[in-house]
Amino acid sequence: MTGTRPTLVFCAEADTGIRRHGREAYPYECCGALIGRDRLVTEALALPNATAEGPRRRFLVRPADYRAAERRATELGAELLGFYHSHPDHPARPSRYDLDHAWPVFAYVIVSVEGGEPRTLTSWRLREDRSAFDEEPVAVESGSEDGTETRRQGSGQAGGRRSLRASPS
């Protein structure tokens, strides 16, 4: 392992969508679902940012959100890869609350929004024993897709041919 190779790659529109959502929701947290295939996020699906208690102040994916995200993924012939949320005026690192409410397998993406401007975007995976998150390298696709990338392939194809730029962290 190189340690710098991205394990989660965003289409440019998905990256932009997460940042825009974070800006729009500020000073509250936004949250949404990550939809795509393998390690490529092709769509950031915004989930409702208000509950019965008012605008969300903490990240929480309700069962109804989860079902909506799975439905959307199925519509696209894709998979639910994880979730994102914003940290208004806080670093893009998981909180204790995030740890307590995370599920294994999924990617947890956090974007920090400082004074209304989206900044750092990070991604985290819950350890199997649920004791902590491990950060994973992320990247954003700079070019457009040629359509053949959507075929399912084995591991090890995420890095090579694509043109990548590092996340601005």
Please give the Cα distance from 157 to 20 (Å, whole number): 29
Please give the Cα distance from 129 to 6 (Å, whole number): 23
* Per CB under 5 A, 150 contacts Zn ion: no
Q: Of these, 38, 98, 141, 149, which contacts Zn ion (CB under 5 A)?
A: 98
CA 163 to chain centre: 20
Choices 43-51, 63-71, 91-99, 124-132 (CB under 5 A): range interacting with Zn ion: 91-99
Rounded least distance, CB 74 to Zn ion, Å: 27
Q: What are phi and psi of 98, to 5 degrees?
A: -60, -45
Nearest to Zn ion of 37, 87 (CB atom): 87
Nearest to Zn ion of 3, 115 (CB atom): 115
Nearest to Zn ion of 83, 158 (CB atom): 83
Cβ atoms within 10 Å, residue 11: 19
Q: What are phi and psi of 67, to 5 degrees?
A: -65, -40
* Per CB under 5 A, 26 contacts Zn ion: no
* Per CB under 5 A, 84 contacts Zn ion: no
Rounded least distance, CB 16 to Zn ion, Å: 21
* Per CB under 5 A, 122 contacts Zn ion: no
Write down the H helix ranges in the chain.
12-25, 63-75, 96-100
* Per CB under 5 A, 123 contacts Zn ion: no
CB distance 46 to 17 below 8 Å: yes
Rounded least distance, CB 58 to Zn ion, Å: 7
Cβ atoms within 10 Å, residue 73: 21
CB distance 18 to 123 below 8 Å: no
Residues in 50-79 that interact with Zn ion by CB under 5 A: 59
Rounded least distance, CB 138 to Zn ion, Å: 16
Binding site for Zn ion (CB under 5 A): 59, 95, 98
